[in-house]
């Protein structure tokens, strides 16, 4: 489909003497509806990505279409309903990402030639829709912002893949930049530390330790050269230095494993069980790899893992919110975007 820019928009861009610049925030994605059909559409797109499941051979396709997409959507839909934003009829991830884009646009409102939009890698609004919208506003340059602090091929790289696929269909392509990972950026570490300290001050108990839980990944991906694990370690070590904690007080774990392959360890759920059985009674969990609260933080951590901890003898459990669209969180996004827009604005 050809994108047609209105003559008035084109004239305005030329007359301003400054090319319009678009900023596209991109997060992972979400089903459009919290029911089995909606989850099935989302999972099919997500699990058909060779960056996510690298072996897309016949056996995987049979398993995906014959088993996973027949059974998993029903159970995952129940999980989504537990956290669904019923007022807007959408997932919290979509609500928060929209708000992040709105707040960034407000922060850049003094730069009339800059436009901000947002998209999901899987689901809606799509990356294509976001790029089309920015081009329709006359943007000749676009900064894509994958909202993943730690790089991995299954998150950051697949955002780039999709952006490139969209641009490959255009005759008149905008100039493109992509923000780098920011896993040990000073602003990011400071925002995490501030959010942790602020949250702990609101609790009626003092955690004996904090668990930093990152999304998991098959160990084989790291063995092939993915830097994700090293980025997670770097984030955790920087956070320990900032908070004055060692590895016994701020633990690193990985959650959300899928299938039978070995994933990065230690596993979050097994750690919850072990800590409780060893006599730890009060903990807090932070999820530094997520820029916005979603199913993996609001349901898997705050509900499932809290239950695992308490079932095995734990007493107090608190899930620390993601940075989201908080002031510290927006400071990170603004800092990252303004740094990468140098020379364009």
| 28-38 tens-digit pLDDT | 999 999 999 99
Asked if pLDDT for residue 17 goes beyond 90, the answer is: no
CB atoms closer than 10 angstroms to residue 12: 15
Identify the helix (H) or strand (E) that includes residue 28.
strand 20-30
Q: Which two tokens stand for residue 294?
A: 């979603």
Asked if pLDDT for residue 6 goes beyond 80, the answer is: no
Q: Which two tokens stand for residue 62?
A: 């049979």
Query: Phi, psi at residue 17, to the nearest 5°?
Result: 80, 0
User: Annotation-wise, does 296 bind a ligand?
Assistant: yes
Burial class (CB in 10 A: 0-12, 13-18, 19+), 338: middle
Q: Please report the beta strands in 102-152, taking only residues with DSSP state E, as ranges in sequence order.
A: 114-123, 139-146
User: Could you give the CA distance from residue 213 to residue 106 in angstroms, rounded to a whole number?
Assistant: 32
Question: Do the beta carbons of residue 238 and residue 184 sit within 8 Å?
Answer: yes
Which strand ranges, in their side-by-side order, compose the sheet holding 139-146?
Answer: 114-123, 20-30, 139-146, 175-178
Mean pLDDT confidence for 59-75: 96
**pLDDT given for residue 272 in this prediction:** 98
Mean pLDDT confidence for 193-220: 98
* CA distance between the termini of the chain: 30
Query: Phi, psi at residue 145, to the nearest 5°?
Result: -120, 90
- 3-state class (DSSP) for residue 146: strand
Token pair 């002031």 in the structure block, residue: 327
In tens, the pLDDT along 218-245 reads 999 999 999 999 999 999 999 999 999 9
Query: Phi, psi at residue 210, to the nearest 5°?
Result: -120, 135
Q: Which two tokens stand for residue 249?
A: 């007080």
C-alpha separations of 142 from 91, 123, 130, 155, 340 in Å:
27, 21, 10, 19, 11
- Banded model confidence at residue 70, pLDDT cuts 50, 70, 90: very high
Asked if pLDDT for residue 13 goes beyond 50, the answer is: no
**pLDDT given for residue 223 in this prediction:** 97
**pLDDT given for residue 9 in this prediction:** 55
Q: Give the max Cα distance, the chain.
A: 69
Asked if pLDDT for residue 265 goes beyond 90, the answer is: yes
Question: Do the beta carbons of residue 319 and residue 210 sit within 8 Å?
Answer: no
- Secondary-structure percent of the chain, ordered helix, strand, coil, rounded to 5: 50, 20, 35
Question: Cis peptide before 45, with omega less than 30 degrees from 0?
Answer: no
What are the residues whose beta carbons fall under 8 Å from the beta carbon of 7, sequence distance 6 or more?
none
Of 9, 241, 17, 301, nearest in space to 137 by CA: 9
User: Annotation-wise, does 90 bind a ligand?
Assistant: no
Buried b / exposed e over 253-263, threshold 16 CB at 10 Å, is bbbbbeeeeeb
């Amino acid at each position: 489909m050809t994108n047609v820019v209105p003559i008035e928009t084109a004239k305005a861009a030329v007359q301003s003497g400054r090319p319009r610049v678009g900023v596209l925030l991109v997060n992972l994605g979400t089903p459009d509806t919290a029911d089995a059909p909606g989850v099935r559409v989302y999972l099919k797109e997500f699990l058909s990505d060779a960056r996510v499941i690298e072996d897309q051979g016949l056996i995987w396709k049979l398993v995906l279409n014959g088993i996973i997409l027949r059974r998993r959507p029903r159970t995952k839909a129940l999980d989504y309903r537990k956290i669904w934003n019923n007022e807007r009829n959408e997932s919290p991830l979509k609500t928060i990402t929209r708000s992040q884009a709105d707040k960034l646009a407000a922060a850049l409102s003094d730069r009339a030639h800059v436009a901000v939009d947002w998209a999901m890698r899987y689901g809606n609004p799509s990356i294509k829709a976001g790029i089309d919208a920015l081009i329709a506003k006359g943007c000749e340059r676009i900064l894509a912002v994958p909202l993943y602090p730690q790089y991995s091929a299954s998150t950051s790289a697949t955002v780039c893949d999709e952006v490139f696929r969209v641009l490959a269909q255009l005759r008149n392509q905008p100039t493109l930049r992509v923000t780098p990972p920011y896993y040990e950026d000073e602003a990011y570490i400071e925002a995490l530390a501030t959010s942790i300290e602020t949250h702990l001050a609101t609790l009626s108990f003092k955690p004996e330790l904090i668990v930093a839980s990152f999304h998991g990944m098959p160990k084989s991906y790291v063995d092939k050269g993915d830097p994700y694990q090293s980025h997670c370690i770097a984030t955790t070590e920087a956070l320990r230095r900032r908070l004055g904690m060692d590895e016994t007080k701020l633990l690193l774990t990985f959650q959300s494993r899928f299938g039978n392959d070995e994933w990065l360890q230690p596993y979050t759920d097994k750690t919850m069980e072990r800590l409780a059985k060893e006599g730890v009674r009060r903990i807090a969990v932070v999820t530094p790899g997520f820029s916005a609260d979603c199913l993996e933080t609001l349901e898997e951590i705050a509900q499932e893992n809290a239950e695992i901890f308490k079932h095995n003898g734990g007493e107090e459990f608190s899930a620390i919110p993601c940075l989201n669209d908080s002031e510290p969180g927006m400071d990170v996004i603004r800092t990252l975007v303004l740094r990468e827009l140098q020379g364009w604005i």
